[in-house]
Structures are given as C-alpha cells and as structure tokens.
Structure 1
Amino acid sequence: MHEETVYDALDHAHGGEGHWAFGTGFDEPLAGVDTTVPDGVDHADLGTYCLMLGDDALVLAQRLTQWVTAAPELEEEVAIANVALDLLGQARLLLARAGSVDVLGRSRERASASIPDEDALAYFRDADEFRCTALSAADNGDFGQTMVRLLVAATVRLAVFARLRDSRDPVLAAIAAKGVHELTYHRDHAARWVLRLGDGTAESSRRAQAGVDAVWPLLADLFTATDVERRLAAAGVAVDPADVRAEVHDVLTTVLDRATLRVPPWPADAPPRGRLGEHGPELVALLETLQGLARQHPAATW
C-alpha cells in the first residue's frame, strides 16, 4: 500500500497510534525495570527529586537547541543537537517517573487527559514549579560560554549519575546506567572545545576566559542539598550534591589548566533557590518558547 508521507508510514507501522516520535521500533530503556517505590521512601520526595534532575535536562536541552543553525560549524550543529536529544531522553524518563508517583503539581489540571504525564510536566507547569538550577536556565552567551557551561553541567551530572547507578530506586538506577554513557560524551565533547578555544588564538582564549568568568558564579548553589535530597540520600535513593564537589573541582581545574585558562576562585555555597522554584526572568522567557505551541493547542495529538 502506498503511503502519502514517511510519517504516515511510521504511524501505520505501529498501529496508527500517532505517537511516532517514541513509537518507531526503538528499544524502551526501562523495559522490565521494577517501578515499585522502595520501602520507606516518600513518594513526594522521590517525585520532586526526579523533577530536579529532569528539569535540569529539559531546560538545558532547550538552551542547546538555540544553537541549531547558529553554531560555528555544521558538524557542531549536529553534535549539539545530539547532546540536546540525549538530555531530552533523560528528561522524558525522569518526568515520567515523577508522574508515576503522582508528583504533577498543577500540570495535570491544565493538560488534557490524553497527554502523558511527562508532557504535562514539560509543557503545563509555570516557572515557579520548575526545579532546575540557575546553571541550566542561564542564557547561552557566546559559543565559548556555552561550551564552558556544558562542561560544568555535564561534569556535575555525570558524577551524580555514576553514583545513582547504585540507587535503591530501580528506575533511577536504570536511568543513570543509561545516562552515564551519554554524559561521558557530553563532558568530553565540551572539554575538547574548551581546550581548543582556550589554547587557540588570542581572541578565542579571551572569549573562553570570559565564558569561564560568566559561568563560574553559577556553581554556587550546585553543591547545596535541599531537604529532599538529604532525606533521599540518607535512604540510599539520591545523591547528596556535596559528595561530588571534590570530583567536579578536580575535573574542571584539570581541563582549564590544560586549556591555559585561569581558574576563578570557587564561589561560596549559596541556597539552592532554583531547586525551590525561585528563578529569574530568563527561565520565564525560555518556557514561553518551549511551551507556547502546546498551550495554544492543549488537546492536540502528534
């Protein structure tokens, strides 16, 4: 039978469900994973923690897609898009886990019943319901600053995910086991660019150093645990961000030293405002772009 478009073909091949983006024969990464919440773990805490990790990935992915058609090299546009897709995949799994334990906030009231929980959380929460850090939400700056931010974000996230593989929550452990491979590439890709820019021309070095100086203050709240993180870390489910500080410090210092860039003083710890839903106007503007179409057509299917 002749199909009008490739999308029609994909749709018919999978029962006409219309969700071809996630239904085209790709393996389900959590197939066979026990989704039971471990004994003694508060559902609300687990869901909130998944929002923290999921929102970091979702918001940073959206930031990275702003470089598509604007990156300095065509191959780099593809690489950045692939990093963003990896992060979107992590966000999807983490937000779905949050939804599975009924941590949905006001999103479920705004979204139609046909919309999956992870989509409701992505598209129908306001900025004060997001739990991402300022590092993820900050504007891109120039390309050098973007690569420095990606280096920091991937280094922190990789250190956390490496430890989360031993989480008592089987879902978090499975997501982390898949994510460490992706995050290793993200970190190494960003590190290569920081080395190339920092130890390149006078102009590229100047821009890379300016990127470091702009990003460094955003480290202030990355290692301050919320009460939720402390409780879940004590229960063997989550990672206390303070536990990855030394590893992150060593990796970042090594990369910047080799890139002949000056390592700024490590910022003093600050309250984790982003984890508590306190954000600047840059996140509001980003969400207007991310959520605009879904909110205009809340009952649409794709």
Structure 2
Amino acid sequence: MSEANASATRITPGNALRPEDIALLDTRPGDAVGQYALGLGDDALILAQRLGWWISRAPELEEDVALANIALDQIGHARSFLTYAGRAWDRTEDDLAYFRREPEFRSVHLVEQPNGDFARTIARQLVVSLYQWELYSRLVDSTDATIAAIAAKAVKEVDYHRDHSIQWVLRLALGTDESRRRMIAGLKLTWPYVDELFADHPLIDEVDGAGVRPSTLRAPFDAAIQAVLDEADLERPAVPGAVGGGRSGRHSEHLGYILAEMQVLAREHPGASW
C-alpha cells in the first residue's frame, strides 16, 4: 500500500491511529488545534508517569499488570496527541515530552497529584477515566479527522479503565472498615481538582467543532460518578476546589519533580538512540 493510500485509510475515525500513522498524514493542525491536542497529550503523559510507579508496588500481582496496562494505554494516547500537536510547529513527540520546560506543559493539576496510597490512586483514576470516557466519546465526532481517529481508539481503551476503577471503588468502599476509610479519604483528596477538568479555557473558542467544550461534559460526568458513589454508599466530598491553571501553564508543585525524573535521560544524552 502506498503512503498516500495508507493515509487515506488510517484517517478514518473508526480505525486505530498510531503515532507512526500520523507521521504519514499530510494534514497539519493550526496553532489552536495543536495547543488543544497538546493539552490532551500532556494529561495522558503525566498520568502515565504516575501510574507507572505502581508496577511492583500494587496490592496484588494482577493489579501490577492492570495498572501497567492502563499506563501503557495512556502513553499511547499521549504519543498520538503529541505527535499530531507537534506537526503544528515541526516538533516531534520526543521534543514535546522531553524538552519542554514546566510552564510549557498544559496538563491539569489532577493528573499531577501524588499517588498516595492505593485508594487515593483509585479515586484519581475513577475521576480521570469517567472524564476521559465522556471526552473521547464526544471527540469521535470532531471536525478534525485526526483527533476523531485518535479518540475512536482511545475511547475503547478508556472504557476498560472506567470499569476497572469502578470495580475497585466498590471493592474498597464496601470492604473492610479500613479500606472504606481509605476510599473516603482518597476521594476527599482528589475532589478539589475535579472542577478544572470542566473549566472552559479561552482556547476552546478557537477550536469550535474540532474540540469539545469542557463545561458540556460536566452534567454527564456528574451523573456517572454519582451512580458509582450511590452504589458504593459514598457521599460526594464537600471540599473547596483548588485554583487550577494547568491549561495556562500554571502547575502544582508536583509537576517539576515528575518532569525531572522523566526528562533526565533525554536531556543528559540529547539525540541518543538505542
């Protein structure tokens, strides 16, 4: 198959779109769409770094594998979005992942938060997976064919992430007194960062049709998470929201430490290959 025909086939939203497929495309996003894709890629990249920490540390061997697989899925989403975003500025996915400074990242504060104990990680994963499922379910209809194709692949994977986190919330909340206490505490620590997911950054006005207005996802997200909380006999935490600002490059104190660990090898040996 020629590159031209491969591009025409792979651009259809129903097909899986990999970073190497995006490299074959002739399409180049404008700056606004590139910035939008950058934010989605950064969310997935930073979350994957957090989840990867659990390998060999999860409460059971099967969960080591499960969280590793979720982290790998997120890495895949990050690679696709960052590859596409980079085409707007002639930068590679590695350029964007390893050679940007902290203020240049566009991740939300939620994915930057420490893992804490297992229940706190599960609380964060519940919120992220429900949010991403609503987001990608809408992005499959994006007017930007590449974003639609990336979302079509991602939403299938996030459907598993969503089920995984729900089952663990129920298991912890309805288990022992200690596991329930930790699940409640995990939700309370996570909840201040929920509002930022649904804040309408000014960029969204520039990507009308290509992106999804975050505020329109709040109602279905609230309904979905309330159903989980009801089944788990949990209450929605009554805690104030955090300031946020990740989409504008204002990050929590945690991101710098994540980037230092993630970027050190690439920065010490720029241009190296293995």
TM-score by length of 1: 0.81
Q: Is residue 257 of structure 2 the alignment partner of residue 285 of structure 1?
A: yes
Alignment partner of 1:238 out of 211, 222, 230: 211
Check conservation: 2:17, 2:153, Cα contact below 8 A: no
Structure 2 gaps, min length 5? 1-15
- The match for 2:230 is 257
Percentage of pairs with the same residue: 45
Task: Specify which of 48, 61, 64 is matched with residue 61 of structure 1.
Answer: 48
Q: Which amino acid aligns with 2:233?
A: T
User: Aligned match of 2:171 in 196, 214, 239?
Assistant: 196
Deviation at 1:101, TM superposition (A): 1.2
Residue correspondences, number: 257
Matches within 5 A, 1:194-233: 194-232=169-207
Partner SS for 1:238: coil
Q: Does 1:80 align with 2:67?
A: yes
1:24-173 to 2 correspondences below 5 Å:
29=18, 31=21, 35-37=26-28, 43-102=30-89, 104=91, 117-173=92-148
**Offset from partner CA, 1:212-256 (integer Å, 9 cap, x none):** 000000112111111112221x3x100000011011101111111
Deviation at 1:144, TM superposition (A): 0.3
Unaligned runs of 5+ in 1: 1-26, 105-116
Q: Determine if contact 2:169/2:183 at 8 Å carries over to the other structure.
A: yes
Note closer, same or farther for the CA distance 1:28–1:36 as it changes in structure 2 (3 Å cut).
closer
CA-atom RMSD in angstroms: 1.9
The 3-state SS of whatever aligns with 1:146 is: helix
User: How far is the alpha carbon of 1:103 from its aligned partner?
Assistant: 6.9
Bigger Rg, which one:
1
Could you tell me which residue of structure 2 aligns to residue 108 of structure 1? none
- Asked if structure 2 preserves the Cα contact closer than 8 Å seen for 1:127 and 1:283, the reply is yes
| C-alpha deviation, 1:100, in angstroms | 0.9
1:281 and 1:77 map into 2 onto residues whose CA distance is: 27
Q: Read off the aligned partner of 2:69 and give its amino acid letter.
A: N
Aligned-residue offset at 1:34: 5.6
Aligned mates of 2:57, 2:38 — CA distance in 1 = 30
How far, CA to CA, are the matches of 1:280 and 1:218 in structure 2?
A: 11
